[in-house]
Amino acid sequence: MNLDLNTLFQVTVYVEAIVGLLLLFVWVQNTSITAVAWWGFADLLRAGSIMLFGMYGSVPDLISIDFANAVLFTAFALTWTGARVFDHHPPQPVLLFGGAALWLLLCRFPGIRDSWEVRVLISSGIIAAYTWGTAYEFWRGRSEPLVSRWPAIFMLFAHGALYLLRTPLGSMLPWSPTDNQVFDSVWMTVLSFEALLFTISISFLLLAMAKERAEYRHKTAALVDPLTGVANRRAFLQDAEALLKRRASPPSPVAVMVLDLDHFKSINDRHGHAVGDRVLQVFAQVAVDRMRRMDLFGRIGGEEFAALLVDTTRERAISLAQEIRASFAATGYMVGETAVTATVSIGVVICYDAGLDLAALLAHADHALYQAKDKGRNRVETVSIEFILDRGGRDPADILPIATAEPAGRSAA
């Protein structure tokens, strides 16, 4: 089947323009995603460059080739800049227009201006550089769990590779740009058709990425405490329940901590809520820095936090609690230029069996916390729980645990 290149050019112009306007319309609906605006303008510029390419033979080459390529390079640079902005990196104006400026400068040299092959090689290299740069920007932001990021990276890499291959492949196909047979070139037809498919596909993926991010942030906002950045009560309870179920067979020792800042209301009353908020942030950071990646930590109340440690030992759980307490006592002494002397009391329950659910473990840890408060605060109290296994099939909740209160010591602070 033969494809009429002029028709393909016209279709590509329409598609690029429509996609560009669609992206700008999406951006108007949510102007916080500024990358979509960059991508929309990039498509509109590509439509303009293709229109200029379509004038080849009827206008001077300075317009249909040199200027058209400069516009095309700027369009790819806008796509690359949009990828940078999408992952919170600033635009780089020099590189944004560097490709177009380099092209126009090199085209002034007779050796380059008169060699079609060299000009094709240079233009292909500039497009591949911007396209691979876009793929790299998406790749280095891969820590954000967006599924659409990966096919976008693959397509951008493949698109750039195809442009680099057009010089060696083009030399194998019979065509001569000097006798106006550019539009009869098989390779030009392949590139134009691929560009059309690429425009449609990558635009779909870019919109999917923007949509994924919005949904991810909405989900995160529902599960993350906005002040401290740790899991909120809902997320902690949900994730802890799921983690305990996964670790129930075979059973492994777990520890649950309940951590409560001492005299926090007095801190708010004396220094104001801004200082109180900063104290909460400092404490959350101190605790998170000392947790393993597999441990869970969250804010379950105003100044109350909880942690779940899996596959742990009694010694490690107590050591971690003491480390958090001592580090916060040292760090929370001064918040900014304010002497706060903030401390924390911690109740820890260590369970050696899968008999208790999360609610029961939190209740025992809360009881140990009250003991820490009653004994002067800024201390760690622990409870160890072991079950006498009942082979009669009774509900574990009906089996009486053996609980022993164990003060974990206290350092002056």
Q: What is the pLDDT of residues 211-227, one digit of tens each?
A: 998 888 787 778 899 89
Mean per-residue pLDDT, 8-26: 90
Q: What is the 3-state secondary structure (H, E, C) of the chain?
A: CCCCHHHHHHHHHHHHHHHHHHHHHHHHHCCCCHHHHHHHHHHHHHHHHHHHHCCECCECHHHHHHHHHHHHHHHHHHHHHHHHHHCCCCCCHHHHHHHHHHHHHHCCCHHHHCCHHHHHHHHHHHHHHHHHHHHHHHHHCCCCCCCCHHHHHHHHHHHHHHHHHHHHHHCCCCCCHHHCCHHHCHHHHHHHHHHHHHHHHHHHHHHHHHHHHHHHHHHHHHHECCCCCCECHHHHHHHHHHHHHHCCCCCCCEEEEEEEECCHHHHHHHHCHHHHHHHHHHHHHHHHHHCCCCCEEEECCCCEEEEEEECCCHHHHHHHHHHHHHHHHHHCCEECCEECCCCEEEEEEEECCCCCCHHHHHHHHHHHHHHHHHCCCCCEEEEEEECCCCCCCCCHHHCCCEEEEEECCCCCC
Q: How confident is the model at residue 313 (pLDDT cuts 50, 70, 90)?
A: confident
Mean per-residue pLDDT, 180-201: 69
pLDDT, position 166:
66
Asked whether the predicted pLDDT for residue 304 surpasses 60, the reply is yes
* pTM summary value: 0.66
Q: What is the pLDDT of residues 74-103, one digit of tens each?
A: 999 999 999 999 999 999 999 999 999 999
Q: What is the pLDDT of residues 238-285, one digit of tens each?
A: 999 988 887 766 677 889 999 999 999 999 999 999 999 999 999 999
Pairs from 162-169 (Cβ < 8 Å, separation ≥ 24): 162/191, 162/194, 163/124, 163/127, 163/128, 163/131, 163/191, 164/124, 164/125, 164/128, 166/120, 166/124, 166/191, 167/117, 167/120, 167/121, 167/124
pLDDT, position 240:
92
Residues 233/187, Cβ–Cβ less than 8 Å = no
Question: What domains sit in the chain, N to C, each tagged with a CATH number?
Answer: 5-223 (1.20.1070), 233-407 (3.30.70.270)
pLDDT, position 71:
96
pLDDT, position 412:
36
All residues at 6 or more sequence positions from 316 whose CB lies less than 8 Å from its CB, including other chains:
309
Average model confidence (pLDDT) across the chain: 84
pLDDT, position 121:
86
Q: How confident is the model at residue 2 (pLDDT cuts 50, 70, 90)?
A: low
